[in-house]
């Protein structure tokens, strides 16, 4: 592709598929447009011979990889292309954000593109939603989804702040040996420390957004929060 020609993905940016753009090719020369790559839009085309009606010629195929930060590219042109300094004929090669792509066998006379993934964060969030087992996000004391989740160490079991605090208060009032450490309600391991877990709290919030039926009543939440005594954060 000559430097005076433009490149675009197919279909056009005005199509419904454009809403699912996950990657782009950024030209080294800012005078030329970026090339968007959408989910169903893996073939990148060059606009050749503009004066002759703007015929398009596919020169590569880009597909999303197995994770959120990788992809593959295949040369579809009749000539070689360059990917990260390597001359590519027809083989499939891996690319990553920052990969340099030249739609021709040499840089001279061609635009140099930098590959970038634009939807990595959204892709990661979707993976979390798919892989998460809600049963593993429940307090073993009340058997409901965590509320203001706390984690005990060294066993790293998780409970509602209110549930654990009330259990700890009742256990302490029954114990004759006040110097003895409390035991984890789930595995009975001696508890060395406990703290609020903000990472798991974010997961808790994401679950409630996806499954509103798991939301507790205002009265239940108020009762739990009245019991909660763990104020420190998990280190």
Spell out the domain ranges in the chain.
7-120, 132-227
| pLDDT at residue 39, rounded to an integer | 72
Which of the following CATH numbers is that of domain 7-120: 1.10.150.80, 3.40.190.10, 3.40.50.300, 2.60.200.20?
A: 2.60.200.20
| pLDDT at residue 229, rounded to an integer | 95
161 neighbors 216 (Cβ within 8 angstroms): no
Whether 7-120 shares its CATH topology with 132-227 is answered no
- 132-227: which CATH topology? Herpes Virus-1 (3.30.40)
Only one residue has tokens 């635009």, namely 111
Query: Does the global pTM surpass 0.85?
Result: no
Q: What angle do CA 54, 60, 63 make, to 5 degrees?
A: 125
Mean pLDDT by 10 residues, the chain (235 residues): 43 43 89 82 60 65 81 89 91 92 86 83 48 82 95 95 94 70 90 93 88 91 95 81
| pLDDT at residue 1, rounded to an integer | 44
What is the C-alpha to C-alpha distance for residues 136 and 126, in angstroms, rounded to an integer? 18
């Amino acid at each position: 592709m000559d430097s005076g020609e433009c490149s675009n993905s197919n279909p056009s940016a005005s199509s419904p598929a454009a809403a699912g753009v996950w990657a782009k090719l950024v030209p080294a020369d800012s005078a030329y447009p970026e090339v968007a790559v959408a989910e169903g839009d893996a073939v990148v085309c060059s606009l050749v011979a503009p004066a002759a009606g703007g015929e398009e010629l596919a020169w590569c195929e880009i597909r999303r990889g197995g994770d959120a930060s990788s992809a593959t590219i295949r040369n579809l042109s009749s000539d070689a292309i360059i990917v990260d300094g390597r001359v590519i004929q027809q083989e499939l090669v891996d690319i990553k954000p920052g990969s340099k792509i030249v739609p021709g066998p040499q840089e001279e006379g061609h635009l140099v593109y930098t590959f970038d993934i634009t939807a990595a964060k959204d892709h990661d969030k979707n993976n979390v939603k798919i892989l998460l087992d809600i049963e593993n996000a429940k307090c073993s004391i009340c058997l409901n989804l965590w509320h203001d989740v706390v984690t005990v160490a060294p066993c790293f079991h998780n409970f509602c702040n209110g549930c654990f605090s009330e259990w700890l208060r009742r256990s302490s009032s029954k114990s004759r040996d006040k110097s003895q450490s409390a035991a984890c309600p789930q595995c009975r391991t001696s508890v060395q420390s406990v703290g609020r877990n903000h990472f798991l709290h974010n997961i808790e919030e994401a679950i409630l957004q996806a499954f509103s039926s798991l939301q507790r009543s205002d009265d239940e939440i108020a009762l739990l929060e009245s019991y909660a005594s763990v104020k420190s954060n998990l280190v």
